Amino acid sequence: MFHTVTLGRKVSKEEFVSRVPALRQGLLVQQVRLRDAGFPVICLFAGVDGAGKVETVNLLNEWMDPRHLVTRAYSEPSDEEAERPPFWRSGATCPRGVASGCSSRAGTACRS
């Protein structure tokens, strides 16, 4: 299972802007492939406040096909949720038949 990545690389704003169209197209292609793959995928974004979780989830919401996207927002877990395994509520709140998803403490995006 993929847990974390630290690249240590930086891309200039100009280079990023020039790559955006190809990145968006590639992301949409992968979204369709995952939707048709027949197994669930959930991406969880976690980290300290101000780390960019919300911005990342918002960007994915903007770039991906919104017809197959549901975003869930979470605050601190309730007492009942805290007794469950970590990230239990992420899976419990996604609709049946989810093909992929993204989650952070600020939100979860479930794709079907």
HEC-encoded secondary structure of 11-67: CCHHHHHHHHHHHHHHHHHHHHHHHCCCCCCCEEECCCCCCCHHHHHHHHHHHCCHH
Between CA 2 and CA 55, with CA 13 as vertex, the angle to 5 degrees is 50
Per-domain residue ranges for the chain?
Answer: 13-111
pLDDT digits (tens, 9 = 90+) for 9-61: 888 999 999 999 999 999 999 888 888 887 766 777 777 788 888 888 888 88
Q: CA 100 → CA 21, 69, 71, 97, distances in Å?
A: 22, 9, 12, 9
Radius of gyration of the chain (CA): 15
- Asked whether the predicted pLDDT for residue 112 surpasses 70, the reply is no
Q: What is the pLDDT of residue 19?
A: 94
Q: Mean per-residue pLDDT for 76-93?
A: 81
Estimate the crossing angle of helix 53-63 against helix 13-35, to 10 degrees: 70
Read off the pTM.
Answer: 0.63
Percent of the chain's residues with pLDDT above 90: 17
- The percentage of the chain sitting over the pLDDT mark of 70, rounded to a whole number, equals 77
Residue 76 has pLDDT above 70, yes or no: yes
Specify the CATH number of the domain 13-111: 3.40.50.300
